[in-house]
Chain A
Amino acid sequence: MIRIEGLAARRGTFALRDVSLEVPAGAHLALVGPSGAGKTTLLDAIAGLLPAEGRIVVDGREVTCEPPERRRLGLVTQDALLFPHLTVGGNIGFALPRAGRGAAVEEAARLAGCAHLLARRPDGLSGGERQRVALARAVARRPAALLLDEPFGALDAPVRRELRAALAALARAGGTSVLHVTHDLEEALALADQLGVLEGGRLAQLGRPADIVRRPASPVVAALVGTENLLAGEITAEGATAPVPFPARLRTAGVELRGLATRQGPGYAALRATDVTLSREPLRSSALNRLPGTVRALAPEGPLVRVTIDAGVPLVALVTRESADTLGLVPGTSVYAHFKASAVHLL
């Protein structure tokens, strides 16, 4: 278990402020955020590589003032950082107590899928092999938590998928908490029980991945979790403003959208492209939002087609290829975009 309370740290002119989160034993928290949001600074502060204020508790023991070697945390970075003068076995066994070192190295290497590499030197390994070794090295000491700093960011998609499975197995085997910085939302959603979004050195949102994706707390969070439609405008309540969220409208460029808001005033409407339905004629449905528009562009994305529509405001819809064919969508086609008020988050 790892618990962070009111963590603050500085790196140059950048400041990380008031970050609080908890990763229970065996749980996986993924952190996403734009470049420069403080993701690596946060991991370094937790690992003890940067001075920090606040509280860091690992398995019930406060380690805020402890040096890195006494924190029982394993760190894996994007470039693996293997020791080039040691073999793979030497890397995994680095600083392990002599007694039981061999067995610990073999066990960690087996779990990470690199047992066949023990005698090799790092400079001859592929990117995926290096990350397996880095993972094995980090778990060989049986840390209370793993801190992962975009560990799979530089790898090909198939290797990434393999390593995700290896990571899940390693964490499961040791009951290890994982705090995982990634820019890959798909990876975060595949692995994490909790998702955190860092923005400008602060934790902008923390919660279940599905909740954050459905209800992003800010335009930056919305953009990070893949909310394709983000429209700026004025938010006005349709009635009472309690309890929150309350029904409201957002007016923008002569278009009015109905959705759920937590406040009034200038703001944004966030709408996922998958929540937009298209038709050639106005439909009778429960969707409160219906905007006529014209298809401007179509872009195939695997089994789906990304449709860009000019509806007075730019809108993006994701529909299946079959739907696109049935509707006969081509640039210039007149369509209606429908979406429920519950899918429109007024931020």
Chain B
Amino acid sequence: MARSPSPAGPAAVAGALVVLFLAAPVVALLAEAAGWRGLGAALADPAVRGAFFLTFLCATAATAVGALAGVPLGYLLARRDFHGKRWVEGLLELPVVIPHPVAGIAILLAFGRAAPLGRLLGGGVVGAPLGIVACMLFVSLPFLVSGAREGFALVDPRLEAIARTLGAGPAGAAFGVALPLAARPILSGAVLMWARAVSEFGSIAIVTYHPKVASILVYDRFTTSGLPGAVPPAALLVAVALAAFVALRGLARPVATRS
């Protein structure tokens, strides 16, 4: 009996090519790092340790600030229609599409020493960890807001209505029903935001080259010492990103969000 052609064969070939394309640079970098001094040697370098500590601290701070402001915004976008909603949604997508050095320049103009908002922040964000946090927040917040919006959109709004009839106020219904049910997509968005913040380079290079975060350090080492200096911290960054995305896969398991 003749068999109908299966799409699985061509799909597998295409998939293998994509996996190969993505894996080749990662494997090459990790192999090169083991060939030079290894990830352990990179960690032994105080400058690398300092840059990574600063990176993780700023990324965590940006994610925390992003969660405080972005989760309520995600809730609003999922639940309410309001004037200017499309503009807000467009604005949230902007950091994903504009070149990040451009984002850095915009942040400099808005929060620099000469800008009113910069003076409000106590002398601006240039050359300060606050500048790093601002850059990270600007470029990575859309991931968290998007995760929160999608998470809340999956929760049946009638569950909150029932919670209200049971005596919960608007905040009680949101925290007691909507937030727990949207927790996984929000956490996924937070991990994605944190990882994106860790990897940010373009805007930080404009706003706060010093003190150096990991991505700036890698670039700096490449321009001053070439590959031998850049590969170990670069491989360490890749290892961190891999760990973050393995964790993300775990969070992305399906969960019932409707009754």
A residues near B (Cβ < 8 Å) are: 44, 47-49, 67-69, 71, 73-75, 77, 79-85, 94-96, 122-123, 137-138, 141
Contact = CB atoms under 8 A, between A and B. Distances in A.
Contacts of A141: 166-167
A19 to B, nearest CB: 19
A75 B170 CA distance: 17
Contacts of A81: 156, 158-159, 162, 259
Interface of B: 156, 158-159, 161-170, 172, 176-177, 180-181, 256-259
A49 B164 contact: yes
A95 B161 contact: no
A84 B181 contact: yes
Given A94-B166, A138-B165, 7 more contacts: A69-B166, A73-B165, A75-B161, A77-B162, A81-B156, A81-B159, A122-B259
Given A83-B259, A84-B256, A85-B180, A96 B167 contact: yes
A69 B166 CA distance: 6
Given A81-B259, A95-B163, A123-B256, A69 B168 contact: yes
21 contacts: A67-B164, A68-B161, A69-B164, A69-B165, A69-B167, A69-B168, A71-B165, A73-B165, A74-B166, A75-B161, A75-B165, A79-B259, A81-B159, A83-B159, A84-B259, A85-B177, A94-B176, A95-B167, A96-B167, A122-B259, A138-B165
A68 B172 CA distance: 12
Given A77-B158, A94-B176, A84 B257 contact: yes
A47 B161 CA distance: 9
A74 B176 CA distance: 18
| 4 shortest interchain CB distances as A-B pairs | A68-B164, A95-B167, A95-B168, A75-B165
Q: Which applies to chain A's interface (DSSP): helix, strand, loop or mixed? A: loop
B163 to A, nearest CB: 7
Given A81-B259, A83-B259, A49 B166 contact: no
A312 B91 CA distance: 72
Contacts of B159: 81, 83
A137 B165 CA distance: 11
B165 A84 contact: no
B162 A48 contact: no
A70 B165 CA distance: 8
Contacts, number: 69
Given A81-B156, A81-B159, A95 B166 contact: yes
Nearest to B161: A49
Contacts of A44: 161
Nearest to B256: A84
B169 A69 contact: yes
Given A69-B168, A69-B169, A81-B156, A94 B163 contact: yes
Contacts of B161: 44, 47, 49, 68, 75
A148 to B, nearest CB: 12
A85 B178 CA distance: 10
Nearest to A73: B165
Contacts of B180: 85
A67 B158 contact: no
Contacts of A137: 166
B84 to A, nearest CB: 22
A123 B257 CA distance: 11
B176 A82 contact: no
Contacts of B169: 67, 69
A216 to B, nearest CB: 33
B251 to A, nearest CB: 16
A85 B164 contact: no
Contacts of A94: 163, 166, 168, 176
A71 B168 CA distance: 11
A180 to B, nearest CB: 16
A152 B123 CA distance: 65
Nearest to B162: A81
A80 B164 CA distance: 15
Contact of B162 (A71, A75, A123): A75
Nearest to A143: B165
A94 B162 CA distance: 10
Given A77-B158, A95-B176, A85 B181 contact: yes
A84 B162 CA distance: 13
B259 A80 contact: yes
A137 to B, nearest CB: 7
Contact of B258 (A48, A73, A84): A84
Nearest to A123: B256
Contact of B177 (A47, A67, A83, A138): A83
A346 to B, nearest CB: 43
Nearest to B177: A83
A145 to B, nearest CB: 11
